[in-house]
Amino acid sequence: MNKRPPRNGDIVEQKQNTLLVDGNALFKTGFFGAKNMYNHNGQHIGGLYQFITVLRKLLIEDLYHRVYVFWDGNFSGKLRYNIYEPYKSGRGKNYIDGTQPIDESELSQRKKVWEYLNELSIRQLKHEFIESDDFIAYYCLTKKDNEKITICSNDRDMCQLISQDVRIYFCDLKNYVDLSNYSSYFCHHKDNARLVKTMTGDVSDSIKGIKGLGEPKLISLFPEIKERKVYLNEIIDKAKSLQEERVTSKQKPLKILTNIINSITDGVQGDRIYEINHRLVNLSEPMMTEDGKKDLAALVDGVFNSSDITIKNVFKMMSLDGIDKEVGDYRYPDYLLPFKKLNEREIKNN
């Protein structure tokens, strides 16, 4: 059934689609996923090619009025490191001098991606101390009422941000996850995404959870986590009841229940594990600095200088980097068409 045309006096508020990209996550997906992709000079181009190609796919699948890419800076994560020193220690990051192991090819391709995005009318931001997921979370929490957001990432912490107007494209799943299909991909209720991380930790970020507790075990003990929003105090109270029932029926107490009740972890958080983990993973309170908020506001409200940007510039860059050979001559002319349309929208909006 067709909607009626607006009558005189009707106010029609058009939805604005915005794409927020976790730059580090998307780059790493391509860099390590296309590790055998080299150009004619023997230079690895997998990270660069896949980054642009995935962005192109997303731009084809939906119309976006704005695209933002957020990057981690040299000291990004330090705000969490100040709370929990092992944070991301498995990645070899040094929060004292801001260094992290990275090979020359990865560094070179990251720089090229930045240059390409500038030419493709894509707004991007990197801050020394703020992580990309905090920028994305803060943007979602302060978005316009008429704005619909798609997040591109691999970070499961982002699940906390899913709402009626926010969905996530997971690069590894190659699919969109929203309120309608969340349960198809995850075993817990969407509103428990933060609770699960608080209790079980996050291996990728070196955050320890309750000793011996993983998500499958947590859900087997508390199946309501799959059905509805639950609270930490509720889980602890139920753990006490379950343990008391076992003692009453002369069963051996479960060690995992004891660990939950007494906040036992083999991490440095000690008995403050719930408090510390909640702060580390809670994207409803992103870790932002005042200058970071100002930088984001300037990025959103600023005029994008599109005057010197032409698709011809990008064609030349692709030819020099050997990406044109991966695209193939037969589709080379229209490969950048989605970016050209985005550029036209930026010029129009300015």
**pTM of the shown model:** 0.92
Residue 98's pLDDT band (cuts 50, 70, 90): confident
- pLDDT class for 332, splitting at 50, 70, 90? low
At 61-78, the pLDDT tens digits run 999 999 999 999 989 999
Q: How confident is residue 93, by pLDDT bands cut at 50, 70 and 90?
A: confident
Domain ranges in the chain with CATH number 1.10.150 = 191-281
191-281 CATH: 1.10.150
Within 10 Å of residue 99's Cβ, how many Cβ atoms? 12
pLDDT, residue 300, reads 94
Q: In Å, what is the CA distance from 292 to each residue of 127, 283, 300?
A: 7, 16, 12
Domain 16-188+284-336: CATH class, spelled out: alpha beta
Q: Is 46 in contact with 36 (CB distance < 8 Å)? A: yes
Given the structure tokens 């009841």, which residue do they identify?
241
Residue with more model confidence, 254 or 324: 254
In the chain, which residues fall in CATH 3.40.50.1010? 16-188+284-336
Decide if 76 contacts 55 (C-beta within 8 A): no
pLDDT in tens, 246-291: 999 999 999 999 999 999 999 999 999 999 999 999 999 999 999 9
- What is the Cα–Cα distance from 1 to 137, expressed in whole angstroms? 37
Question: For 185-205, what is the HEC assignment?
Answer: HCCCCHHHHHHHHHHHEEHHH
Predicted local distance difference test score (pLDDT) of residue 307? 57
